[in-house]
Structure 1
């Protein structure tokens, strides 16, 4: 990684787009967008005059020019209780959504905008910003919520109303499932792009569980470690064959998943028959102690980075993983899905360091 005497710009936010091909950084003075593979700066916007311009949330919509922005930091560009729809072609906002409390996260689909507050989730139609649905949740300070991104009706995963409970909204089947994922609080969730699987981690941070969204059944349990840890990020590969995990221990883990995606696709297709009744069933799965025959499995590949630093993980091409650090670090690593072992770092940058990545002048 290139060293520099300059103090790096503090990050307020860091996230991938829906397929890990890009990532966004929220800064005290604006935002920056990068390409993941190959690594390069795409565009950025610096708000003036200083010291304003803080952006605490940046949500991309694949690779298009539309972003969702939320102000934050010591000098926010926008109120933290508003979601601003930004068109980078126009270098300005084309719409906004206002709320009574701070916005914790935003999720975008081509047809929906999902806004997460501490105890509420709102679902809007993207075309006209019409409110379609609202959900009450358990206290959600991390803004946990994920949505599917393939064409068709949306699957949404969020917190339920009780500690350790996850709610699955299957809008195509018009079914709600409540899944008892953990005894302790849920601190991280991930959802496959097709909405078939979701993964959860609890405040203990030792076990990660993978569930079927169709019926809430537990499909697999993997073990990050034996000691308690704060899980920062969970990510499925695009094929749902692997799961990546980052924690405050500074170790990135990759797990092989034993899920028959074809069988799940057939199962979900059968469940979406036109004749299916429009029911909403509030069921709680996995009550009490989990069956002992669910043996937890260890990761196939791992990488040791800086302990205590927050990392966001995503998958790249073939057997590669992309890791983003809140210190501005970018890693691309290769792993062997069969032999496993330590990952190999094949690319490393500091995306906040101008000497490491040239930034063009503002248009």
Structure 2
């Protein structure tokens, strides 16, 4: 069965511009027309509502700190679209601001560092809470990346940053300093060196441009789709090897996102969603979809290889 593609549009400003989760999944932040809200996932409850005099496109928690990264957007942007602002929720004011020469496409964070995606590169910054400071760690060129694709491992001891390569359909694996288990303060600059490498730092994931990119918390595997949206591929990052190929369908679709279930490696459950109005879930260690309808307004497809 083939379904038509959905177009997301509205005549009114959307009340919610983005939703981001903390690395451990315990909290999520809603960026809205009048500031942001921090929620606890379970039991569901509002932790903090911060009203601001402008619209936000993104609000992202810096783990284990009172800090958030804010990006302006929407009808009345609080900040210019080329700025990243570090905001202290405890005192209710900005503590740092980074300005770039173009619109920011995406931001990702873990303990001790955050990454900013631009149209053709990703820039990584380290930060510390002891007196609060920020310094640039490095930057890497990518193919055209309007979606701001990147995947950052967040488990203690993990090192992976996965980015689009310089050629369409390629993924580059960047080893970063190990994610700390407690304090987000990284070591001194002389010792801030990656402690692991990858056998194949470039993965030829697809022949078409990437549409989505995700990683397990440990960075052991990545999940990719292309602009065709027919196949999802699971890759072992240490060996640079394809482990699973999962078919969404035969007709093209725009993949809006993909994700792993937890950190059980390449054999765990995988989920993907697209402009077809469908959510696909693949079972543990199997190449066929196992789907369960949890809501009458969610349409699901079952494509069996």
Q: TM-score, normalised by structure 1?
A: 0.67
Match of 1:272 in 2: none
Q: Deviations over 1:260-306 (max 9, x none)?
A: xxxxxxxxxxxxxxxxxxxxxxxxxxxxxxxxxxxx92211244765
Residues 191 and 25 of structure 1, relative CA distance in 2, 3 Å threshold:
same
State yes or no: 1:187 paired with 2:211: yes
SS in 1 for 2:203: strand
Match of 1:212 in 2: 236
Residues 256 and 91 of structure 1, relative CA distance in 2, 3 Å threshold:
same
| Aligned counterparts of 2:152 and 2:44: Cα–Cα separation in 1 | 26
| Aligned counterparts of 1:180 and 1:174: Cα–Cα separation in 2 | 17
| Aligned counterparts of 2:161 and 2:143: Cα–Cα separation in 1 | 15
| Aligned counterparts of 1:76 and 1:104: Cα–Cα separation in 2 | 15
Residues 190 and 153 of structure 1, relative CA distance in 2, 3 Å threshold:
closer
State yes or no: 1:108 paired with 2:113: no
Match of 1:298 in 2: 288
Once the two structures are TM-superposed, the CA of residue 121 in structure 1 deviates from its matched residue by 0.6
Match of 2:174 in 1: 169
Once the two structures are TM-superposed, the CA of residue 195 in structure 1 deviates from its matched residue by 0.6
Once the two structures are TM-superposed, the CA of residue 28 in structure 1 deviates from its matched residue by 2.2
| Aligned counterparts of 1:213 and 1:302: Cα–Cα separation in 2 | 30
Root mean square deviation, CA, Å:
2.2
Residues 249 and 307 of structure 1, relative CA distance in 2, 3 Å threshold:
farther
- Give the conservation status (yes or no) of the 8 Å contact 2:280–2:289: yes
SS in 1 for 2:228: coil
Gaps of 5+ in 1: 1-6, 259-295, 309-340, 342-363
Match of 1:312 in 2: none
- After TM superposition, list the pairs within 5 Å mapping 1:47-196 onto structure 2: 47-48=52-53, 53-62=54-63, 64-127=65-128, 128-152=133-157, 154-171=159-176, 172-175=195-198, 177-196=201-220
Residues 15 and 59 of structure 1, relative CA distance in 2, 3 Å threshold:
same
State yes or no: 1:245 paired with 2:272: yes
SS in 2 for 1:298: coil
Select the structure of larger CA radius of gyration: 1
Once the two structures are TM-superposed, the CA of residue 307 in structure 1 deviates from its matched residue by 7.6
- Give the conservation status (yes or no) of the 8 Å contact 2:64–2:111: no
Once the two structures are TM-superposed, the CA of residue 100 in structure 1 deviates from its matched residue by 0.7
| Aligned counterparts of 1:305 and 1:19: Cα–Cα separation in 2 | 29
Residues 212 and 92 of structure 1, relative CA distance in 2, 3 Å threshold:
same
| Aligned counterparts of 2:51 and 2:73: Cα–Cα separation in 1 | 14
Q: Deviations over 1:53-104 (max 9, x none)?
A: 1111111234642211111112110111111111111111111211111111
Once the two structures are TM-superposed, the CA of residue 43 in structure 1 deviates from its matched residue by 1.2
SS in 1 for 2:168: coil
The number of equivalent residue pairs is: 262
- Give the conservation status (yes or no) of the 8 Å contact 2:159–2:196: no
